[in-house]
Amino acid sequence: MKILIVEDETKLAHILEQGLKENGFVVEWAEDGGLGLEMALTGRFNAMILDVMLPVRDGFEVLRELRKSGSTMPVVMLTARSNVDDRIRGLDLGADDYLAKPFDFKELLARLRAVTRRPKDRIQSSLTVGDLALDLWTHEVHRAGKLLDLGPKEFGILEYLMSRKGLVLTKAMIMDRVWPADADCQTGSNLVEVYINFLRKKVDLGHEVKLIQTVRGSGYVIQDQP
Question: Side-chain half-sphere of 165: how many Cα atoms within 13 Å?
Answer: 21
Measured distance CA(87)–CA(81) in Å, rounded: 9
Minimum CB–partner distance for residue 45 and Ca ion (Å): 19
Residue in the shown chain whose Cβ atom is closest to Ca ion: 53
Of 20 and 30, CB closest to Ca ion:
30
Instruction: Report, in Å, the least distance between residue 11 CB and Ca ion.
Output: 11
Helix (H) or strand (E) run with residue 101 in it: strand 97-101
**What span, in angstroms and rounded, lies between the C-alpha atoms of 93 and 97?**
11
CA count, 13 A, side-chain hemisphere, 159: 21
According to CB under 5 A, which residues from 197 to 216 bind Ca ion? none
What is the three-class DSSP state of 18?
Answer: helix
Q: Which residues within the stretch 97-156 sit at the binding site for Ca ion (CB under 5 A)?
A: none
Task: Give me the least distance between CB of 13 and Ca ion, in Å please.
Answer: 10
10 vs 187, beta carbon nearer Ca ion: 10
Q: Are 37 and 25 in contact (CB under 8 A)?
A: no
Q: Which residue, 53 or 100, has its beta carbon nearer to Ca ion?
A: 53
Q: Which is nearer to Ca ion, 53 or 191 (CB)?
A: 53
Q: Which is nearer to Ca ion, 31 or 131 (CB)?
A: 31
**Cα separation, 146 vs 22, whole angstroms:** 44
The smaller minimum CB distance to Ca ion, of residues 7 and 96, is found at 7
Rounded to 10°, the helix 59-68/84-92 angle is 10
Distance CA 107, CA 99 (A): 8
Question: Shortest approach of Ca ion to residue 8 CB, angstroms?
Answer: 5
**In the bound complex, what is the minimum distance in angstroms from residue 155's beta carbon to Ca ion?**
36
Residues 31-90 that bind Ca ion (CB under 5 A): 51, 53
Edge to edge, the sheet with strand 146-148 lists 126-129, 132-135, 141-143, 146-148
Task: List binders of Ca ion among 151-190 (CB under 5 A).
Answer: none
Residues near Ca ion (CB under 5 A), total: 3
CB 86 within 8 A of CB 52: yes
Work out how close the CB of 38 gets to Ca ion at its nearest, in angstroms, rounded to a whole number: 18
Residues 1-20 as x/- pattern, contact with Ca ion by CB under 5 A:
-------x------------
CB of 32 to Ca ion, least distance (A): 10
Residue with smaller CB distance to Ca ion, 6 or 132 = 6
**CB-CB contact of 46 with 40 (8 Å):** no
Q: Which parts of this chain interact with Ca ion (CB under 5 A)?
A: 8, 51, 53
